[in-house]
Amino acid sequence: MIDKYFVRVVFTVLENGDKQKLNTPGGDQVMTRWGGETSIPFFAFLDSHGALIANSIEPPSNGENGGNIGHPYEPHEVDWFLTMLQKAAPRMTAEERAPIEKYLRSQKQ
């Protein structure tokens, strides 16, 4: 379902020691250009020209610090991810987003 809206590209960054050879050359610069910090997982949604639409860095709100939501499972993280989806895929319906939301919210234990 989500594949009809997105093309996924994976970069490996921030690996250390013996795994450092797995890092994508230039991946750290790409992550920085898209607003990434020094934490992973980090992800970003881009438009068809490569311009940033939204990234996994939740802005501060209600007196709370923002930051990288990583794999979202906390309520505020899932909320931010759904906001990202609405920005990046405005034609995606609430019904299409519902299974994603249900899955993410079910992980909180």
Residue-wise pLDDT tens digits, 29-69: 999 999 888 788 999 999 888 899 999 999 988 777 789 99
Distance CA 45, CA 55 (A): 6
Residue 61: strand pairing partners:
64
Distance CA 80, CA 94 (A): 15
pTM, two decimals, is 0.83
Q: Whole-number mean pLDDT of the chain?
A: 88
The whole-number pLDDT of residue 21 equals 94
The pLDDT tens digits for 76-87 are 999 999 999 999
